[in-house]
Structure 1
Amino acid sequence: MKKNTDLGLLILRITIAGLMLFHGVAKLGHLDGIKGMLSGMGLPEFIAYGVFITELIAPLLIIIGYRTKLASLVFFFGMVAALFMAHSNNMFALSKTGGLQIELILLYAFGALTLFFTGSGKYAITSKNSWD
């Protein structure tokens, strides 16, 4: 059977970034909880708007395949920030079904890291730049 790495990368891009878009859209106009968490940590509330970069802009760029490596790196660091800021208490906690409670964040983070190393593949808007 012939390998089709480019199709696999397209499926990975659409899956990881497409599913994250739901999280970003759900936060449109609803940043109060994130702002409260940040101010409780002594951080400025405007950082909450970075959620839109991580959960809307970067995923859209990943889906269309424009500067995929750069967008994936931003996405990865956003997931790491979310992990340590919002889910640090559950780092090693197990869910009711036996998996890690943070496994979805880890899946997003390492899916993005994979795309950082592989790039977008040929099914993308751009593929000639070093950040594609």
Structure 2
Amino acid sequence: MNKEEIGNFLLRAILGVTFFMHGLSKFKGGLSNLAGWFESLGLPGFMAYAVGTIELIGGIALVLGLGTRIFSVLFILIMAGAIIFVKFGAGFLGNGEMAGFELDLVLLVIALHLLINGSRFFSLDSMLPTAKKKLNMEIIQ
């Protein structure tokens, strides 16, 4: 265990909790309402269900350290979509009517960091047989 792994764990845990909470709020607010809003933006309504589910399940998975890189890719795509289709017009800090894309960009970059570096500390992924075999091969080399 080193400082880098502890840092990766903290980023993974906070990103997971953040996405879980955002997904939970989407379900509580009604995904059908969100689907209507997506359609008003010119996006397919079913994407609201996909985004809410990915945020909820992916958030839990990140906290547990399960599929970190896979969910990081999905979170990058979600945040890129949020920036491009929703927040970019409001600017970096917002325009008084809507929040800017600063938080979305930070979440995107954290997910990108986890995609590149992974996070093995306190992760279920590191307990899987294939992950242990890979880790042993890294130690040998």
Q: Shorter chain as normaliser: what TM range?
A: 0.7 to 0.9
Partner of 2:52: 52
TM-score (norm 2): 0.75
CA contact (8 A) 1:7 1:123 kept: no
* Residue identity in the other structure for 2:69: K
Q: Does 1:113 align with 2:112?
A: yes
Q: Which runs of 5+ in 1 are unaligned?
A: none
TM-score (norm 1): 0.80
Greater RCO structure (CA 8 Å; 6+ sep): 1
| SS of residue matched to 2:125 | coil
* Residue identity in the other structure for 1:111: I
Q: For residues 84-113 of structure 1, give each alpha carbon's deviation from its aligned partner in whole angstroms, at most 9, with x where no partner exists.
A: 2221321345567xxx82111111111001
Partner of 2:125: 126
- State, as a whole percentage, how many aligned pairs show the same letter: 27
CA contact (8 A) 1:6 1:123 kept: no
Partner of 2:85: 85
Q: For residues 1-42 of structure 1, give each alpha carbon's deviation from its aligned partner in whole angstroms, at most 9, with x where no partner exists.
A: x94222111111111221222211111142344322322244
Aligned length: 126
Taking a change above 3 Å as real, the CA distance of residues 38 and 19 of structure 1, as seen in their structure-2 partners, is closer
Q: Which runs of 5+ in 2 are unaligned?
A: 135-141
